[in-house]
Amino acid sequence: MTYCVAMAVDDGLVFLADTRTNAGVDHISISRKMAVFEEPGERVLVLLVAGNLAITQATLQVLIEHQDPARPTLWNAPSMVEAARIVGEAVREVHRRDAEALKAFNVDFNCSFILGGQLRGQPMRLFQIYAAGNFIETSSVNPYFQIGESKYGKPIIDRVLTPRTPLDEAAKCALISMDSTLRSNLSVGLPLDLLVYERDTLRVTRYASLDESNAYFDMLHSTWGARLRQVFSEIPDPLWTDNGNVPRQDRVELPIVARPAHEGGSAEPRLAQTLAQGPQPTLPPRES
């Protein structure tokens, strides 16, 4: 399994991928899941991959080792949409070649990709490409994509990220999202590849490989955990009130199967304490 996330904000793009691969608990290794196609001043394209490692590597080989000189490539694609189509066609080519053989061994054709970047004179764009070769693009209401083990890292992104989020804050959000995933899923692991692309630079200027010795990621991990526990402890505990003091028409009866009367059961409904309206903390106004 893997976890990759990419974000599109007004100031640039953020790409983050782990490097753990596994085929069972005895077969854990490291493999890069980020590929960068850069021609400084002309184009920067970043591809993240997830799924069956053999399938994603075969797709990358099709993209890198093109045989037909007349065939469009990521190096000469005239637009980001065409670049996404080129990746999709590479996926279909691998499917045509390998899918039946994989099916004979009960192996699903499982792969997914994120492609983002910018071509000179054009806006930045970010796409998610599926195993069928089709793709979708980010929007103002959904400025990010995740592939792989996405569920643990999704909540923080949904709460924090908007297109107006500053680029460094978006990178921080991606790292916290990854930290949450690392905390909850052993199939995702260090080191991490982080690439932050600044809009209109048309070159890679910010890249880091993060492992256990990286001081910033270690600080983020410990601080995020400590602050979560702090906020948790500051939220008031639930308060309970005796249901017997509540007017009958407003009572909440305990949904429990009563013991039959002929076996000594009581006909009276069970009353339990109910959640009371406790003190409510003052919250800042919600952003529109």
pLDDT in tens, the chain (288 residues): 799 999 999 999 999 999 999 866 677 899 999 999 999 999 999 999 999 999 999 999 999 987 788 889 999 999 999 999 999 999 999 999 999 999 999 999 999 999 999 999 999 999 999 999 999 999 999 999 999 999 999 999 999 999 999 999 999 999 999 999 999 998 999 999 999 999 999 999 999 999 999 999 999 999 999 999 999 999 999 988 887 777 777 667 767 777 777 777 766 666 777 787 666 556 566 555
Give pLDDT, residue 201: 98
Give pLDDT, residue 280: 59
Give pLDDT, residue 282: 62
Integer Cα distance of 107 and 148 in angstroms: 17
Residues 6+ apart with CB under 8 A from 87: 47, 59, 63, 74, 113, 115, 129, 135
129 is written with which tokens? 């490409």
Q: Find out whether 212 and 220 touch, Cβ atoms under 8 Å.
A: no
Handedness of CA 73, 203, 117, 108 (dihedral sign): positive
Selection from 199, 183, 176, 13 nearest residue 120 by Cα: 199
In the chain, where the domains are located: 3-213, 240-275
What CATH code is assigned to 3-213? 3.60.20.10
Give pLDDT, residue 138: 98
Integer Cα distance of 94 and 54 in angstroms: 10
CA count, 13 A, side-chain hemisphere, 249: 0
